[in-house]
Amino acid sequence: MPTLPWTMPNIPPDHAEVHVFASRFETRTLWGALRFLARTPGVWRQVSRAPGAYGATLKAAPLRRTFWTLSAWESPAALKAFAHGGVHAPTARGLAPQMRDAKFATWTVTTDDLPLDWADALRRL
């Protein structure tokens, strides 16, 4: 699966602070990676409609059983509402037993820095 392009569900205001969230997931097995891939479209649809989402992208290396996400949010509360609601919450719970490793990073930038840079995110992870 190629990298999903940067998607901007909501237009951010000029020069505003943005809360960035990056993640790296490694599944225990190839079967776990396939399950992750199968559930990606539902979560991606949720992101595309999420209030406060200023952008998101996903990298996938399923044969290496590794996935990365990178997203920008209006606030930590907007990110939390996304993570704990919709299809994301049951998907995350359902995939948890499949995970071998997970890493997360958060930081802030301004809307002038969008779209986000994968190289910076990977360095932070």
Q: What angle do CA 87, 90, 92 make, to 5 degrees?
A: 100
Backbone angles phi, psi at 28, to 5 degrees: -70, -35
Break the chain into its structural domains and give their ranges.
4-124
Among 3.90.550.10, 3.40.50.300, 1.10.10.10, 3.30.70.100, what is the CATH number of 4-124?
A: 3.30.70.100
If DSSP codes are grouped into helix, strand and coil, which group holds residue 95? Answer: helix
Q: pLDDT by residue for the chain (125 residues), tens digit each?
A: 578 999 999 999 999 999 999 999 999 999 999 999 999 999 999 999 999 999 999 999 999 999 999 999 999 999 999 999 999 999 999 999 999 999 999 999 999 999 999 999 999 99
The DSSP output letter for 50 is: -
Amino acid at 5: P
4: its two tokens: 């999903």
pTM of the complete model: 0.94
* Calpha distance 107→25 (Å, rounded): 18
